[in-house]
Amino acid sequence: MGFGILADKHLSHVPGTVLLVDREKLPTISGDPSRLKHDPKNPDVVLVPQPSDDPNDTLNWTRRRKFWVMICIVYGSALVGAIGPLISPGLLVISEDLGITLTEGAQFSGALVQAIAIGTFFSAAGGTIYGGRPMYTIAGILLFVTSIWCAVGKTYPSILAARVIAGFGMAPLETLVPATLSDIFFVHERATALAVWSTALGLGISVTPFVNGVVIDKIGWRWCFWLIAMQFAIMVVIFYLFVPETRYIRASVHNLDTGSKEKINELVGDGADSPQSPSVDVAKDESGDIVHLEHGRADIPSLKTFKQNLAIYTGRKSPKGFWRVFFRPFSVMFSPVVLWAALIYGTTSALFVVLSVLQSQIWASPPYFFNAEQVGYTGAGGLALFWVGLLEGPLLDWIVKKMAQRNHGVFEPEFRLVFIIPQLILQVMGLVGWGISAKRGDHWIVPVIFSTLFSLGQGFGSLASTSYVIDAHRERAAEVFTVITLYKNTLTFAFTWFVNSWLQKQGMMAVLGTLGGLIAACSLTTIPMYIYGKRARSWVHRMGLDKE
């Protein structure tokens, strides 16, 4: 096996491993790979999964339509990212207004993330059975209502209750977005889409304090909730108009990434036309989008109209009962791939949120003594996330394609893990440098630069872990992210109980140095995951952990 990935000894085709670049015949495929559908703009790239001939198959949507769905979804994700640190620059001010301690004020974030963790089980089950569109609609309405509730709430218990309910509203946009993106994008496009999503989420977390520091200082902290309530109202409208149901049930034979050797051979056939493997024409329309036609098929449905796509509910997507699906994440929890992704994505994302909660305490302390507006400005470096995030996805897609070309055209999900290298360097350097510069009392721009490096590293790590786990468990994406979110938010919740007092007692160097060591330890587990990842995927399949 190429690039240091150990071959599996049990399965001839391990789910997740696919022919991505059509250079030569695979030993595990008896038919002709040229009969598979390819990307017209990159004729050597095999489309994975293989789209059906139904024009309503989400993989057959035009590039423009996919783009607008993605933009709407990442807009909602950015707002969800913003909810957590929405009032963090003014946490000291808010705690004084409500007559509570700083630790109690931190629970505005702690209770929120724990509610998300619980809510992901409901959203994953609902998305699997009823589709993503109903879940997104419920999410938007809940977030709109609870934002107004927080804006007018007078007491700590009232606002805390609103934040808990908001957490349930955030859950679908934490759990279902990766699944939605994998519904409409092929393997060779997936990292780009996921990079846009993770960048939007990161921007929401890092840039919100920058904006709301000014809002809190000029017009008061309640306006943070009024302003985001307006944004959620817009989100509800654009989701209704431009985000149709993306969950499409296609024949399993089209799933080259999750199918067995026999299913793949059924699709490519033996080089001659057959009922199981109809001949295929691949063409492009005027915009360069993919058009597929199978000869001998007269049962292809017509394209749904815009009005038909406005339906909130389009029927059950799974015959299984709600509670059976509700508990399914516990089976996928034993996958080594999922455990690794939870460790990397969950830990780094939790620390990303925790550090945003600490912003007010860090910068209001000596030697800086910043007010809420100045604390907000320290998050301006997070804007760099936008530009780097736009490059990360296409770069990773390009890297894995080149690795597949050198691996006889075969793509392994473990190729995605190369992005852990810049994540490890940037995040450890950022945290340790931030701690040292703050301890020495350097000019404020120095710790801001190091905190920005940490944020940039977050983008690389998020993309590597999310794209890898989706490539390995695409059909269970919602349940996989339920597990990851449960771990991430439980860790965040735990940190919010002691991190403020920890910082107060031991100082920046001790806290940030320890967190840097934690990230380094987690990231180094990527080495065995990369080497043994294919065997781990084989074990998961043989144990039936990836079965619905």
Greatest mean pLDDT among 231-235, 282-286, 406-410 lies in 231-235
**Percent of the chain residues topping a pLDDT of 70:** 89
> Going from the N-terminus, what domains does the chain have, and what CATH number goes with each?
58-249+325-542 (1.20.1250.20)
pLDDT 10s digits, 75-123: 999 999 999 888 887 888 899 999 998 888 888 988 898 899 999 999 9
3-state secondary structure 426-466: HHHHHHHHHHHHHHHCCCCHHHHHHHHHHHHHHHHHHHHHH
- Peptide linkage before 49 cis (omega within 30 of 0): yes
Collect all residues with Cβ–Cβ distance below 8 Å to 448 and sequence separation of at least 6. Answer: 378, 380, 381
DSSP assignments along 502-541, one per residue: HHHHHHHHHHHHHHHHHHHHHHHTHHHHHHHHHHHHHHHH
* Amino acid 290: pLDDT: 41
Banded model confidence at residue 295, pLDDT cuts 50, 70, 90: very low
Q: What is the mean pLDDT of residues 177-188?
A: 93
